[in-house]
Amino acid sequence: MCSIRKCGERCGKIWRSDAMNSSESLDCPIIDGHTHLGLEAFIVKPIPEAKQQRPAFRDRMENRYEALIERLDCNQVDQAVAFPFPLEEVDTETANRYVLEASQAYPERIIPFVLIGDRIEYWLQQGARGVKQHFLMAPDRFDLSTAYRAIAEAGVPLIAHLTTREGPGIPAQIRAIRQMAPTLTLIVAHMGRRVPNTGEGVEEHLAELREMEQVYLETSTVREPQTIATAVEVLGDERIVYGSDFPFNSYLDADPMAVELETIRQAQLPSSSLARVLGGNLARCLGS
């Protein structure tokens, strides 16, 4: 894990100029593909004690969009995909609207995604640019087949945090989704790793994923540069997307976004690959 612990040690112009292996400076948009927005007030049901023991609950389930903009500015990140905290106990309607409000307040900075559910077409009409799924949302309570087809038909991406604890592995879960929506663009959150802040389990599924079109891996909370470098080597640099999972890991680091950027830097990718990972690939997924 890198040594960054506070904003200013290696962020912004310093990070951009030192990001590559040569004297060339980084001159490309940086898009964070994984951030969360919302207020604790949006949690309207009790969260079971067993669920609260998960690592994610070490951080508050709150992040105002002003705080996200401040963090983006600190790290000179140009834009961020943002979606609500993906819990079954969250009031999805209110949470989705907050993210759309954030995008309206900062249209050049915040790219709004909404939580998966039974009203995908409605939320896309309201301005959502993509959809987020998480196993903690109990997504099976929704008509997922209809949701996946609506996402695919709209040509927007789904970012999914798939389960790694039990049942089918990552490739099998992806195949099940693609059977319902063969043309869906799918971004696998956290590269499908098993343990937060490690690359455990990622390399096991790279060979199978290489044969799957329109499937991307998003890098947040992997924090092992070699895992990211290996994924680029196996899948190609056009299949990896940078993300931070901000504000998660704030209990661990004063600036978790900076730590995630440092992990990408330490992967020592060629400048062309770095440009794709840091923003080019996600921009292509979003059609921008």
State the fold for domain 12-20+28-285: TIM Barrel (3.20.20)
Amino acid at 195: V
Q: Using CA atoms, how far apart are residues 106 and 66, in angstroms rounded to an integer?
A: 9
Phi and psi of 29, rounded to 5°? -65, 140
Place of tokens 């992806």: 174
- In the chain, where are the structural domains located? 12-20+28-285
Distances in whole angstroms, Cα of residue 233 to Cα of each of 223, 269, 273: 17, 10, 10
Helix, strand, coil percentages in the chain from 3-state DSSP, rounded to 5: 45, 15, 40
Provide the whole-model pTM.
Answer: 0.92
Q: What is the pLDDT of residue 112?
A: 99
Give the whole-angstrom CA distance, residue 205 versus residue 235: 11
- pLDDT at residue 126 in the model: 98
Q: What is the pLDDT along the chain (288 residues), one digit of tens a residue?
A: 333 334 444 444 445 555 544 334 566 899 999 999 999 999 999 999 999 998 889 999 999 999 999 999 999 999 999 999 999 999 999 999 999 999 999 999 999 999 999 999 999 999 999 999 999 898 899 999 999 999 999 999 999 999 998 789 999 999 999 999 999 999 999 999 999 999 999 999 999 999 999 999 999 999 999 999 999 999 999 999 999 999 999 999 999 999 999 999 999 999 999 999 999 999 999 997
Residues in CB range of 86: below 8 A, 6 or more apart = 36, 115, 132, 133, 134, 136, 137, 161
pLDDT at position 19 is: 52
* Alpha-helical regions (H) of 35-91: 49-52, 65-74
